């Protein structure tokens, strides 16, 4: 059996921003799901990799992308 590591990142907020965060999460090793209820959205991003260091790198890059969006 191959070892795998998994991190789940969740975000909730304004639905208009949800699609922007969803686009930022569209990258290799990430599985993103967005659900909307009225003006609110819930985004769940699962990041999976066999290397713990690579997983950390991917999550770091994802969080930097999210922070850039938040800062706009």
pLDDT at 1 over 90: no
CATH 3.30.1370.10 for domain 5-71, yes or no, is: yes
Residue ranges of the domains in the chain? 5-71
User: 64, 14 in Cβ contact below 8 A?
Assistant: no
Whether the predicted model's global pTM rises above the 0.85 cut:
yes
Q: What is the pLDDT of residues 9-21, one digit of tens each?
A: 999 999 999 999 9
pLDDT at 34 over 80: yes
Residue 71's pLDDT is what? 85
pLDDT at 23 over 90: yes
Can you spell out the DSSP letters for 12-72?
EEEHHHHHHHHHHT-STTEEEEEEEETTEEEEEEEEEES-HHHHHHHHHHHHHHHHHHHH-
């Amino acid at each position: 059996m191959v070892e795998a590591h998994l991190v789940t990142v969740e975000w909730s907020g304004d639905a208009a921003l949800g699609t922007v965060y969803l686009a930022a999460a569209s990258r290799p090793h990430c599985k993103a799901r967005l659900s909307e209820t009225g003006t609110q959205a819930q985004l769940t991003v699962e990041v999976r990799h066999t290397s713990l260091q690579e997983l950390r790198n991917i999550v770091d890059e994802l969080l930097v992308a999210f922070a850039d969006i938040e800062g706009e």
